[in-house]
Amino acid sequence: MTVIDRDVVEETTQKQIIEPPLVEPQWQMPAPLLIRWLTIERALYGLLLLVAFGIRFFALSQQPLNALEAANVWPAWLVALAVHAPDPPIPTSPLLYTFHTLLFWVAGGGDALARAIPALFGVGVVWLFWYWRGWLGRTTAMLATLLLAIDPWLTAFSRLADGAMLSVFFGLLTLIGLTRLYTLTPDDERRGRWRNVVAVSAGLLLVSGAQAWSFLLVIGLFVGLFGRATAEEEGAPRLANRFGFSRSMLIVFVAAAVLGATSWLVRPEGLGLISTSLTVWFRQLLGGDFRYPLTWPFLRLLIDQPLLLIFGLLGLGELWLSRRLARTEEVAMPTRRWPLFLTLWFGLGLLMALLPGRNPFCLWMIGLPLLLAAAHLGSVILHQYRPDFAWREVSLVVLMLLVLLISTVFWAIAFISQRQIDTTLARTTLTVFGLALLLVIAFAFWSERRQTRFIIGSFVGAGLLILTIANSWQLNQRFEVAHPQGFFAEYTHPDLRRLVIDLATLSAQRNGDPDEAPLQVQMAGRPDPVLGWYLRNMRRLTWVLAPGVTNDQAPPLVLTLATQADASDLLTNYMGSRYDLHVQWLPPALFDAAAKKASAAKVYWPQQLRPFLRWAIYREVTPLPPAAPVVLWVPARSQ
């Protein structure tokens, strides 16, 4: 029997009812919370976003708008400022047309403003992969984000006043949303949010431009592959239930497309641009204004994207051979269907590159699946790391290999700089490069397999990454007439800006206002969008099929499209000045047709191979690409 001491119970009860002393609440700084939120992973993603922002916005207006960009931008400026022009071009992106009309109405025009919207969406593409970490794996998503930030092609499309980057952004957002719906359980409260994201992004994708139809094929391919159950997923739900497709999603999809195309129902004519984008897409597949040669897409892949060419193809092979991504990190994707999806996506891009209407917009269809595969291979290589590697010996091997490769580069540059073949330089270059290969083979036999994969893979990957950064800089941040990129078949000569400055100076001298001089611009059937965009501030501009003046007006300034014009058709006292306008150039122009018939190496080297190598390395060509000029005719004296 237990005896209870009442004094002890009473004392304990009193202690329990004693209230703790009041403590004055202290204001706590949010710094500790910020430190807990700012992990290393978030910091790295933020750094990559800053890098992507800098690459895409640096010197954004350095290169003049080409004809494709001006055809999208000039009509929006005309509508925003209520200016009339005869038969202006039809924009190909209803959504970009909506953004441009609003932006120009608020802030006016400018090359940087015209390209700012695609550049912002280009930065947004880099941010999207944060939400794909659970599907790809954290390391793979981080490496893919790094490759996206510096990718030469995606950076070029981000700096282009076209709807291509809008299509890539909303297409990837729709794809990411579908993967989240695939992995979330039916009772997860986040499914409703992601269903709305998929519906809105798919609707905006539909009205984003001609490239939306290519991404719709990719999304249809994903739904077809991942929507049906496999043998190991016995009892899995049907397609509609797996992704949660419903009638409400269809309503949201239609509403997003209509509102995005019509500027929130302000401009209903934007709905007609959807069919225009489809027509442009078919023309890009089956034939266009310029015929890019069959080797052009593969040449761009070799010159601009050696990392994707090597690591992407090897990554696809590794995905097919391993089929077990969990050995590197936990992922939510079905490991049997993902490599099939990437392979079919890559094959679809190759098909578009082989069709007669091949053009630069087929490149992102090739590059994106290779980028995802390359990021996977990089993740596999990084997971080969072990702290117990023999780092002292490895560092010596890496140092020797670096010295040999740098020597190879110097000898190769010396060899290419020679106008005639120098056999001594050629043998020296091959010898030094052969020593580097022998060192790699000896290291592979000496070291264990895992260490070899990590060291060689990391070394080659770092070298190709540096080369990709250099190629991205050359393609996007360097614009000189003597260094054509050959990415688009036509670009605008910077001499056009000199024409605009001269017109403003003449107008200020003769009319007291830089935009007040009467100006006639000759058009070949319809106005040139490049001239329309850069001469948009001239208030007395008129478009004519043939220049001329009447007796009741002051002699106008006249801009003709011909290289030479008959001054007697204008006035006897007119003087002309020539300005370059459009330049058409592609890499096959480097190869002389006469040199192809010559079999002697002394002829083949200086006329074909050496010019091509100098363009591939330095983007240098001689002679300069020919340009289509315009002639500005000015009265000799004011009347």
pLDDT per residue as tens digits for the range 292-315: 888 899 999 999 999 999 999 999
Residues contacting residue 35 through CB under 8 Å, at least 6 positions apart: none
DSSP 310: I
Residue-wise pLDDT tens digits, 98-128: 999 999 999 888 899 999 999 999 999 999 9
Which of 162, 188, 193 is closest to 176 using CA atoms?
Answer: 193
Report angle CA 496, 297, 71 to the nearest 5 degrees: 35
Which of 285, 293, 260, 163 is closest to 587 using CA atoms?
Answer: 293
Q: What is this structure's pTM?
A: 0.90
Which of 623, 603, 602, 605 is closest to 613 using CA atoms?
Answer: 605
How confident is the model at residue 1, as a pLDDT? 43
pLDDT band at 69 (very low <50, low <70, confident <90, very high): very high
Q: Is 87:526 a contact under the CB 8 Å cutoff?
A: yes
DSSP letters spanning 39-108: -HHHHHHHHHHHHHHHHHHTTTTSSPP-HHHHHHHHHHHHHHTT---SSPPPPS-HHHHHHHHHHHHHH-
How confident is the model at residue 2, as a pLDDT? 46
How confident is the model at residue 284, as a pLDDT? 87
How confident is the model at residue 551, as a pLDDT? 56
How confident is the model at residue 115, as a pLDDT? 96
- The distance between the two most distant Cα atoms of the chain, rounded to a whole number of Å, is 132
Q: 211-215, 339-343, 373-377, 624-628: lowest mean pLDDT where? A: 624-628
> Distance (Å, rounded) from C-alpha 103 to C-alpha 116?
10
Name, of 5-9, 252-256, 613-617, the range with top average pLDDT: 252-256
How confident is the model at residue 322, as a pLDDT? 74
Name, of 228-232, 363-367, 556-560, 619-623, the range with top average pLDDT: 363-367
Which of 211, 92, 202 is closest to 157 using CA atoms?
Answer: 211
Structure tokens at 356: 């007669």
**How distant, in Å, are the alpha carbons of 381, 392, 443, 517 from that of 396?**
20, 7, 11, 71
Structure tokens at 165: 């980057």
Mean pLDDT over all residues of the chain?
Answer: 85
How confident is the model at residue 594, as a pLDDT? 45
pLDDT band at 27 (very low <50, low <70, confident <90, very high): very low
How confident is the model at residue 325, as a pLDDT? 47
How confident is the model at residue 606, as a pLDDT? 77
Dihedral (Cα; 239, 243, 247, 252), 10-degree rounding: -140
Residue-wise pLDDT tens digits, 363-397: 999 999 999 999 999 999 998 888 877 777 788 88
Alpha-helical runs (H) found in 184-271? 190-206, 212-226, 239-243, 247-261
Residues contacting residue 475 through CB under 8 Å, at least 6 positions apart: 152, 155, 156, 304, 485, 487
How confident is the model at residue 592, as a pLDDT? 55
Which of 536, 458, 477 is closest to 503 using CA atoms?
Answer: 536
Q: For the chain, percent helix, then strand, then coil, each to nearest 5?
A: 65, 5, 30
How confident is the model at residue 25, as a pLDDT? 46
Q: Which residue has 């519906």 as its token pair?
A: 199
How confident is the model at residue 96, as a pLDDT? 95
How confident is the model at residue 111, as a pLDDT? 94
Q: 282-291, 437-446, 501-510, 574-583: lowest mean pLDDT where? A: 282-291
State yes or no: pLDDT of 212 exceeds 50.
Answer: yes
How confident is the model at residue 207, as a pLDDT? 96
How confident is the model at residue 196, as a pLDDT? 93
Q: Where are the beta strands (DSSP E) in 511-612?
A: 519-522, 541-544, 557-560, 574-584
Q: Return the higher-pLDDT residue of 227 and 256.
A: 256
Dihedral over Cα of 346, 347, 349, 354: its sign: positive
State yes or no: pLDDT of 15 exceeds 50.
Answer: no
Residue-wise pLDDT tens digits, 175-188: 999 999 888 887 88
What would the mean pLDDT of 1-21 be, rounded to a whole number? 48
How confident is the model at residue 8, as a pLDDT? 45
What would the mean pLDDT of 614-618 be, rounded to a whole number? 89
Q: Is 240:184 a contact under the CB 8 Å cutoff?
A: no
State yes or no: pLDDT of 626 exceeds 90.
Answer: no
Dihedral (Cα; 134, 138, 139, 141), 10-degree rounding: 60
How confident is the model at residue 391, as a pLDDT? 76
Q: Return the higher-pLDDT residue of 258 and 421.
A: 258
- Cα 534 off chain centre by: 25
Report angle CA 447, 450, 453 to the nearest 5 degrees: 90
What would the mean pLDDT of 585-606 be, rounded to a whole number? 65
Residues contacting residue 386 through CB under 8 Å, at least 6 positions apart: 450, 451, 454
The domain limits of the chain are: 36-382, 391-476, 493-585+621-635
